[in-house]
Homo-oligomer: A and B are copies of this chain.
């Protein structure tokens, strides 16, 4: 019997409404390089959803590419990017940010989140250092919503961070690889218009939120990075068939699909959290979104892994390991019921 698979939220293809639209458009002749009607329409819809009528939007292919480009082209050569020590750019992108020439300046993380006060301290320490001309100047703050630990910044927290950024000439950039799972979470109070109001740049994740591929980068104020369009070509981030990305986002932003698409995943993750608690296992990080982190005795984990594919997260203690169950827009009640049969049998 095939194993159950809760390893991640990028296992399946695209949402049925995207697929439908794609089938209808497949043999149309659309113009190239994101000049097509789908890109135009999707951008309009995203601007409306973000309440950012002037926003400049680009459809890129993946998250690492997006992070690498935004950070590289926003920072001056002498600047670095502040990120929590567990940030995706700090750990899991093979040094893509350094490859682009910039240091990642790590601040402490608290369940995946950084604190405005720590950012402010880092900036002040830099400004007060007699050798600051020989050091990397903080130029930007990078955070993820939800974070790599599944947690959410509250609106209040994000406003504090944005305030520190404004007061200290730091750009604020939000990695929204899993943004739909923030927007679909009852605990969340940061909306797309909030992001557009508070950030200099953010991206609306597609790959993990319903598309085959694609991430939508939003610059609420246009022209922040001049000629970003040419830069996407130079960086190899532009598709000849840009319409393929535009079409998917056009579907995601029709009738509020993007804000809806994560909701079921959260409900199913909540069910898993409840079950885990019932089993007496330990939930980690306090994630309220689609990622469920569980610390398990290795012996128990072994039994789980006989029937379920999960993600290894970290070795927590000598005999304990933290793993992740992830749900997605495509996870079904049936999937979770099968998972529970397994968990109940352990």
Asked if A30 is at the interface (CB within 8 A of a chain B CB), the reply is: yes
- Are A19 and B23 CB-contacts (below 8 A) given A61-B236, A137-B227, A230-B134? yes
Is A80's CB under 8 angstroms from B95's CB? yes
- Count A interface residues, CB 8 Å: 77
* A69 close to chain B: CB less than 8 A: yes
Copies of this chain, tallied across the complex: 4
Inter-chain contact B93/A234, CB cutoff 8 Å = yes
Q: Which residues of B contact A226 (CB under 8 A)?
A: 76
Check if A94 sits within 8 Å of B62, measured CB to CB: no
Instruction: Kindly identify which residue among B76, B97, B238 contacts A64, using a CB–CB cutoff of 8 Å.
Output: B238
Closest partner residue, chain B, to A61 (CB atom) = B61
Contact bitstring A81-122, B, C-beta under 8 A = 1, else 0: 000000000011111111111111000000000000000000
Instruction: Say yes or no: is A50 at the interface (Cβ < 8 Å to chain B).
Output: no
Knowing A77-B234, A99-B101 are in contact, say whether A62-B29 is a contact too (CB < 8 A). Answer: no
Asked if A65 and B237 make an inter-chain contact with CB atoms under 8 angstroms apart, the answer reads yes
A72 — nearest CB in chain B belongs to which residue? B77
Q: Are A231 and B27 in contact (CB under 8 A)?
A: no
A interface secondary structure, majority: loop
- Which parts of A124-158 form the interface with B (CB within 8 Å)? 130-131, 133-137
In the complex, the answer to whether A66 meets B131 with C-beta atoms within 8 Å is: no
Interface string of A1-43 (1 = CB under 8 A from B): 0000101101111100001001101111111110000000000
**Nearest 3 CB-CB pairings of A with B:** A65-B236, A13-B26, A94-B234
User: Which A residues are within 8 Å of any B CB, using their own CB?
Assistant: 5, 7-8, 10-14, 19, 22-23, 25-33, 61-69, 73, 76-78, 80, 91-104, 130-131, 133-137, 207-208, 212-213, 226-227, 229-231, 233-241, 244, 309, 312, 330
